[in-house]
């Protein structure tokens, strides 16, 4: 009898243990990304040792492959328990308006997040008077990274303007160094760089207007951006089509390339590789502008392990979680009450800039425009890399904007 009871009890324990899972879906596999995610898992596992975390990653920067997999799963009624999604249009247009998510307003109030997260961030996760995802960071897209030793060796100053950029690039090229590391393997990286060039020619207000109809895509400053970008492409590594964003960063670590323009997940990558010789400045002509995006996680309807997700979201939004994650990730916390002293020099400078610079939403990383527009935009710019025809490309950009209801 006792034996039978024990067997039943054991079976129950095993069932409970097996049932207690948490599937976290993201595209964080590269250096810095994986380390940041692991920090969150470590905190969670300490609090909930009985829950098995399923780290469901689909490699490919900016969600190049993950987003398609996610769509198939969501539409097929098999949502992951929680998934990475950019705050802003990507979250709201793709998943909230379509009715796939549960609101998280109660959690925001009980955890006190409305008091410690900036209004700008709370606004872009809001819809219909509710909050819909938990932002874990703020990333900056418009950074120019450089190899300090190379710059020192040739007596170069990090460029601040387009003219300075081309001047430095020409000098580096003459020395046999790749001026601008570039990787276009996943199809989004060129659009990422081009976004910063648009900011450079249009300024904060002009760039913002592209996504609201206030700036026309036929604007001569868009033409100028395409011309500048075409010129930049003359200074990149010829094997860019075979490299991902992190493999492009590797050229800087190896001292083969001097600069690249990438989001500050590149800082996470450099740190994960133990590379301390990187410097940073803003992308050319981006002075005083913070091109921002935020990674967040939500609760899809039908999540199999709802309670575990809520517990995970609490970790994501906690001070401890945001500190541990962002130190490794290269981003800054979405919470403003963190201990700044814990952070590396790059993030300290980004925290200061966040407060004093003008914020614009990143298009390539889901903040500025609906996902369908982003996809078309990135494809046109990827094509431009292969065939830098300014006129045809601007026409294509104009017609894409028209499709999304923008005036010509
Ligand atoms: C961005 C994402 C970042 C970083 C980057 C490269 O879209 O917001 O967290 O992972 O892609 O994968």
Tell me what pLDDT residue 297 has.
Answer: 99
Task: Give the pocket of ligand 1 (CB within 6 Å).
Answer: 27-28, 33, 61-63, 86, 139, 245, 263, 265, 293, 295, 365
Same fold, 19-138+295-342 and 140-292+362-403: yes
Residue spans of the domains in the chain: they are 19-138+295-342, 140-292+362-403
- Residue whose Cα lies nearest atom 1 of ligand 1: it is 62
CA 171 to centroid of ligand 1, rounded, Å: 31
Read out DSSP for 230-270? HHHGGGB-TTGGG--HHHHHHHHHTTSEEEEEE-THHHHHH
Tens digits of residue pLDDT in 161-198: 999 999 999 999 999 999 999 999 999 999 999 999 99
Q: Which of 26, 27, 60 to mutate to test the pocket of ligand 1 (most atoms within 8 A of CB)?
A: 27
- Residue whose Cα lies nearest atom 6 of ligand 1: it is 61
Tell me what pLDDT residue 168 has.
Answer: 99
CA 286 to centroid of ligand 1, rounded, Å: 20
CA 399 to centroid of ligand 1, rounded, Å: 28
Spatial contact of 375 and 187, defined as CB atoms under 8 Å apart:
no
- Residue whose Cα lies nearest atom 5 of ligand 1: it is 62
CA 265 to centroid of ligand 1, rounded, Å: 7
Q: Which of 139, 141, 193 to mutate to test the pocket of ligand 1 (most atoms within 8 A of CB)?
A: 139
CA 248 to centroid of ligand 1, rounded, Å: 15
Which residues 6+ apart lie within 8 Å of 122 measured at CB?
114, 131
Tens digits of residue pLDDT in 288-316: 999 999 999 999 999 999 999 999 999 99
Sheet with strand 278-282: strands edge to edge:
178-180, 257-262, 143-147, 278-282
- What's the rounded Cα separation, in Å, for the pair 74 and 85? 13
Angle between helices 189-210 and 220-232 (to 10 degrees): 160
Tell me what pLDDT residue 10 has.
Answer: 60
Residue closest to 114 by CA, chosen among 332, 337, 292, 301: 337
What CATH number belongs to 140-292+362-403? Answer: 3.40.190.10
H-helix or E-strand containing 195?
helix 189-210
CA 408 to centroid of ligand 1, rounded, Å: 31
In three-state secondary structure terms, 49 is coil
DSSP state of 51: P
CATH class of this structure's domain 19-138+295-342: alpha beta
Tell me what pLDDT residue 1 has.
Answer: 58
Could you tell me the two tokens for 375?
Answer: 């996809």
In three-state secondary structure terms, 289 is strand
Residues lower than pLDDT 70 in the chain? 1-2, 5-19
Tell me what pLDDT residue 408 has.
Answer: 75
CA 123 to centroid of ligand 1, rounded, Å: 21
CA 62 to centroid of ligand 1, rounded, Å: 4
Spatial contact of 179 and 257, defined as CB atoms under 8 Å apart:
yes
The ligand 1 atom at the shortest distance from the C-alpha of residue 28 is 10
Spatial contact of 162 and 282, defined as CB atoms under 8 Å apart:
no
């Amino acid at each position: 009898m006792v034996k039978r009871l024990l067997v039943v009890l054991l079976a129950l324990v095993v069932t409970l243990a097996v049932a207690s899972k948490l599937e976290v879906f993201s595209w964080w596999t590269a250096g810095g990304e994986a380390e940041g995610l692991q920090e969150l898992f470590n905190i969670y596992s300490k609090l909930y040792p009985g829950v098995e975390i399923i780290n469901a990653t689909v490699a490919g920067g900016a969600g190049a492959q993950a987003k398609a997999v996610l769509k198939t799963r969501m539409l097929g009624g098999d949502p992951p328990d929680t998934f990475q999604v950019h705050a802003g249009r990507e979250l709201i247009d793709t998943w909230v308006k379509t009715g796939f998510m549960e609101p998280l307003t109660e959690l925001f109030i009980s955890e006190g997040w409305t008091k410690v997260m900036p209004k700008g961030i709370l606004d872009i996760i809001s819809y219909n008077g509710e909050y819909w995802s938990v932002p874990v960071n703020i990333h900056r897209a418009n950074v120019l990274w450089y190899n300090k030793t190379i710059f020192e060796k040739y007596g170069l100053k990090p460029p601040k303007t387009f003219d300075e950029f081309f001047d430095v690039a020409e000098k580096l090229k003459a020395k046999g160094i790749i001026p601008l590391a570039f990787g276009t393997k996943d199809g989004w990286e060129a659009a990422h760089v081009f976004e910063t060039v648009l900011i450079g020619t249009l300024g904060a207000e002009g760039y913002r207007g592209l996504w609201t109809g206030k700036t026309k895509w036929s604007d001569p400053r868009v033409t100028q951006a395409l011309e500048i970008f075409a010129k930049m492409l003359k200074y990149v590594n010829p094997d860019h089509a075979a490299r991902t964003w992190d493999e492009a960063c590797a050229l800087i670590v190896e001292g083969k390339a001097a600069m690249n323009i990438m989001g500050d997940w590149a800082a996470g990558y450099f740190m994960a590789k133990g590379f301390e010789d990187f410097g940073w400045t803003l992308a050319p002509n981006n002075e005083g502008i913070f091109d921002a995006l935020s990674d967040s996680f939500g609760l899809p309807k039908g999540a199999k392990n709802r309670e575990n997700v809520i517990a995970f979201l609490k970790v994501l939004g906690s001070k401890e979680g945001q500190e541990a994650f962002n130190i490794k990730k290269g981003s800054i916390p979405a919470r403003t009450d963190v201990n700044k002293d814990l952070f590396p020099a790059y993030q300290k400078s980004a925290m200061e800039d966040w407060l004093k610079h003008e914020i614009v939403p990143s298009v390539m990383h889901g903040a500025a425009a609906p996902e369908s527009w982003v996809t078309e935009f990135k494809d046109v710019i990827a094509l431009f890399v292969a065939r830098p025809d300014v006129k045809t490309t601007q026409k294509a950009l104009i017609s894409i904007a028209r499709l999304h209801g923008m005036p010509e």
